[in-house]
Structure 1
Amino acid sequence: MKSAMSKRKQKETCGASAECISQVQKILRERFCHRPSATGKLFGIEFQYRHLLELLKRTTLHGESNSALIVGPRGSGKTTLLNHVLKNLRGMKQVRGNLLEVHLNGLLQTSDKVALKEITRQLQLENVVGDKVFGSFAETLAFLLEALRKGDRTSSCPVLFVLDEFDLFVHHKNQTLLYNLFDISQSAQTPVTIIGLTCRQYMKIFKEQLSLPAEFPDEPFAQKWNDNIQHLSEDKIVQDVLQNLFHHTKDLRSLYFLLMLAVSAVSVQHPLLTAADLQEASRQHSTDSKANIVHGLSVLEICLIIAMKHLNDVYDGEPFNFQMVYNEFQKFIQRKAHSMYNFEKPVVMKAFEHLLQLELVKPLERPSARAQREYLLMRLLLDNTQIMDALQVYPNCPTDVKQWAASSLSWL
């Protein structure tokens, strides 16, 4: 009887009808899954937004050539920032119809030849090019841009090149595309962008993303909900959960996934989020199938993963190849002078290929028949936290291997 009265009292206090809870779940899930269209807000990058907008206005209105490189971790808002700028730019009367855009992606345009073909398609110049034969890449690109000219420089239509996955274009042979885009006929270029977030800003995003909007149909409940979110943001347990996630990854998609898991616990009987809900969501979030796969690897395969971890740390997440991993592994062997790790190179390659099969490592592009396996660019699909957590429970892991993994720098 007491329990039933307690539940009824909680329901009356929070005003949490089934319809109300359903609305909460609907609003927040849509926000976490479709964040750009849900709030239309930029977090902590207002200065960068104004700077980029002004730079592109000078290009479109005054014919001024510029270039910018926006740098930051995945999910930090690079594409969102650029999309906001372009949306507002296209809405300006002076700009409308006066800007041509070419969007390239290093994951799709894997060679300069493919990129040039895509530029021609997006500028709708296939018919102009026709069967013409050009002597060089530079000549072809110059012809394409010349075909867009209306007259002198002031009346030429500006072209904006957006290079997503910019670092992959750097690996193109001779970097022909990049050199010509920078050099040719005052072209405008905006390579893709990355923006970091402070921990304080991270908490602001947490509160704003969980808060109910002013137009929520049940205003008293929305007020209680938002007050509760404010209290949660000041809770030490919640702050620890968010700080651990922030150290694990700066990707906002991970934060939204964590919040999605926590919101799933909300019901008529449990109408307000608690710190325990976020703790449980964090536990579920950290449950990782890839980390579990690590438990079944050989010591050699574990060593290769540690070598990749150090390469990521030293080169700030840049792609690597097998030869780089092998060299890093050799440094460890030479330092330890331990015969148990001294494998022949073909054996090490076999172990590396097994990691590929397990999808713990991923090539940046589909390898061609002529490509040398040792030099194909790869990315590790495990982060440092997953690796270290897996090593803690790895059966009979040698002490020196654990120490190597825990060291902050590679064996230089």
Structure 2
Amino acid sequence: MRITAMSKRKSKETSSTNGECISQVQRILRERFCHQYPNGKLFGVELQYKHLLELLKRTTIHGESNSALIIGPRGSGKTMLLNHVLKELMEVKQVRENLLQVHLNGLLQTNDKIALKEITRQLQMENVVGDKVFGSFAENLAFLLEALKKGDRDNSCPVLFILDEFDLFVHHKNQTLLYNLFDISQSAQTPVTVIGLTCRQDILELLEKRVKSRFSHRQIYLMNSFDFKQYLRIFKEQLYLPAEFLDKPFTQTWNKNVQSLSEDKTVQDVLRNHFYCSKDLRSLHMLLTTDPSSAWENSPRLLPALVIKHQGLSVLEICLIIAMKHLNDVYEGEPFNFQMVYNEFQKFIQRKAHSIYNFEKPVVMKAFEHLLQLELIKPIDGPSLRAQREFLLMKLLLDNNQIMDALQLYPNCPTDVKQWATSSLSWL
């Protein structure tokens, strides 16, 4: 009995440890995917990283003022690049204790008054400003920076202004905010650097002449130049747990599963389709955003199942996939056509379904074509001018395990549909 009790206690402790690990995994992946928290290496932007790091070091360590623009299409990694640089800088004690950061966004700070209020809030200087009345935006901003001084220039706190959606600030009246920020970045007062992030390639043409004359004209371009091999490495880096994770055996097992996942041909096909549609890393993050506990249990089959969840499939499309699954089971993997799938779906509706609407045939055909477009099914032969589309032979590219995994992840899936999927019989 003592051995049994010890065994139960050990099992309970192991379960508790795994639960704690899963919670930590959720936190880490949430930071990476939702908040663009820096992780691992940057691929294809090493030169841009070095350039930006040296630029900010000159401000944070040597007290030099500057300005620069990070330019690239949406999802090219502008924010992630900046976060990586800031993470490295914050490891330096001098920077960590002195650097002040002000983050503005053109979508939120839609005019100079709102922007100035946000600058005051982030610098925690509401009490300093109080009820003071200033004649202009420039006077107000100059007062804020003057209040930050500790004496001479070498002892002043460096201030980093980060302007996301930089092109939207161009539309502020007379571009006053940009003019004053660039102006103080050229002055010999408080060390200030202004970093703008934008997807507009023509951004310099949008600046007024007086604003452009005060900009340093430093531009860092990101163009998503990595290839698919590097894309796979990025995929792995996004899922890997860090070496300092709280449980070493858990970390080793998790990372080994991630490696196996990246080598799976089905997973690579999904990622390749994603890669050729868009190199936007946020799209990859959306694909990977799931319950990490599922990833821990079924990581080798995770991605194919997630395709069904994240491609926005309707219940009707899920039903068609289940119909194909049953046809595969009955005919031992032989090709099928739309008419066979439609007949199978109709039998399910008539006999079992209480929560599924009986769709018209053209609507079902549209759903079938969507599955073809997503490459969850594929035609056996090339398109024929003579063959009617209802009778083109198709093959399902998902196996039974992947379909069942997807149903577990699918939100609010009707009970009738789940029961139909688990049934070993087809209503032929």
TM-score (norm 2): 0.51
Partner of 2:64: 64
Asked whether 1:278 is paired with 2:303, we answer yes
| 1:73-112 alignment runs, 5 A limit | 73-112=73-112
Q: Distance in 2 between matches of 1:19 and 1:131?
A: 55
Counterpart amino acid of residue 160 in structure 2? L
* Unaligned runs of at least 5 residues, structure 1: 1-16, 293-387, 393-412
Question: Which whole-Å deviations, capped at 9, do the CAs of 1:225-282 have from their partners, x for residues lacking one?
Answer: 35633532xx3x43332132234443434323424569787697xx5624xx634432
Question: Which whole-Å deviations, capped at 9, do the CAs of 1:200-246 have from their partners, x for residues lacking one?
Answer: 322112233455777653799668735633532xx3x4333213223
| 1:1-400 alignment runs, 5 A limit | 29-35=26-32, 40-44=39-43, 45-184=45-184, 186=187, 187-192=192-197, 195-197=222-224, 198=226, 199-210=228-239, 217=249, 225=257, 228-232=260-264, 235=265, 237-260=266-289, 273-274=300-301, 278-287=303-312
Counterpart amino acid of residue 82 in structure 2? L
The answer to whether the 8 A contact 2:102-2:122 is kept is yes
The answer to whether the 8 A contact 1:68-1:190 is kept is yes
The answer to whether the 8 A contact 1:21-1:267 is kept is no
Q: Distance in 2 between matches of 1:247 and 1:23?
A: 37
Partner of 2:356: none
Which has the larger displacement, 105-114 or 39-48? 39-48
SS at match of 2:283: helix
Q: Distance in 2 between matches of 1:208 and 1:96?
A: 26
Identical counterparts, % of pairs: 57
Partner of 1:330: none
Q: Distance in 2 between matches of 1:101 and 1:224?
A: 38
The answer to whether the 8 A contact 2:160-2:193 is kept is yes
Report the CA distance between 1:122 and its aligned residue.
2.5
The answer to whether the 8 A contact 1:25-1:264 is kept is yes
Report the CA distance between 1:54 and its aligned residue.
1.8
Partner of 1:356: none
Q: Distance in 1 between matches of 2:42 and 2:19?
A: 27
Q: Distance in 1 between matches of 2:127 and 2:294?
A: 58
The answer to whether the 8 A contact 1:21-1:266 is kept is no
SS at match of 2:65: coil
Report the CA distance between 1:161 and its aligned residue.
0.8
Counterpart amino acid of residue 190 in structure 1? I
SS at match of 1:141: helix
Counterpart amino acid of residue 269 in structure 2? D
Q: Distance in 2 between matches of 1:218 and 1:120?
A: 45
Matched positions, count: 271
Report the CA distance between 1:182 and its aligned residue.
0.5
Partner of 2:403: none
SS at match of 1:188: strand
- Give the structure with higher Rg (CA): 2
Q: Distance in 2 between matches of 1:183 and 1:247?
A: 43
Q: Distance in 2 between matches of 1:223 and 1:126?
A: 47
Q: 1:117 to 1:190 in 2, by over 3 A?
A: same
Tell me how large the CA RMSD over aligned residues is.
4.2
Q: Distance in 2 between matches of 1:181 and 1:267?
A: 48
The answer to whether the 8 A contact 1:212-1:225 is kept is no
Counterpart amino acid of residue 100 in structure 2? L
Q: Distance in 1 between matches of 2:56 and 2:97?
A: 14
Counterpart amino acid of residue 110 in structure 2? T
SS at match of 2:194: strand
Question: Which whole-Å deviations, capped at 9, do the CAs of 1:179-205 have from their partners, x for residues lacking one?
Answer: 110013633212237745423322112
Report the CA distance between 1:113 and its aligned residue.
0.9
Q: Distance in 2 between matches of 1:19 and 1:124?
A: 42
Counterpart amino acid of residue 282 in structure 1? V
* Unaligned runs of at least 5 residues, structure 2: 1-13, 200-221, 318-368, 374-428
Q: 1:254 to 1:28 in 2, by over 3 A?
A: farther
SS at match of 1:149: coil
Q: Distance in 2 between matches of 1:180 and 1:65?
A: 13
Report the CA distance between 1:175 and its aligned residue.
1.4
SS at match of 1:40: coil
Q: Distance in 1 between matches of 2:241 and 2:100?
A: 39
Q: Distance in 2 between matches of 1:259 and 1:217?
A: 23
Q: Distance in 1 between matches of 2:89 and 2:251?
A: 37
Report the CA distance between 1:112 and its aligned residue.
0.5
Q: Distance in 2 between matches of 1:220 and 1:136?
A: 59
Partner of 1:345: none
The answer to whether the 8 A contact 2:41-2:237 is kept is no
Counterpart amino acid of residue 273 in structure 1? P
The answer to whether the 8 A contact 2:72-2:78 is kept is yes
Counterpart amino acid of residue 271 in structure 2? L
Counterpart amino acid of residue 34 in structure 1? E
The answer to whether the 8 A contact 1:120-1:126 is kept is yes
Q: 1:227 to 1:115 in 2, by over 3 A?
A: closer
SS at match of 1:41: coil
The answer to whether the 8 A contact 2:101-2:159 is kept is yes
Q: Distance in 2 between matches of 1:59 and 1:267?
A: 43
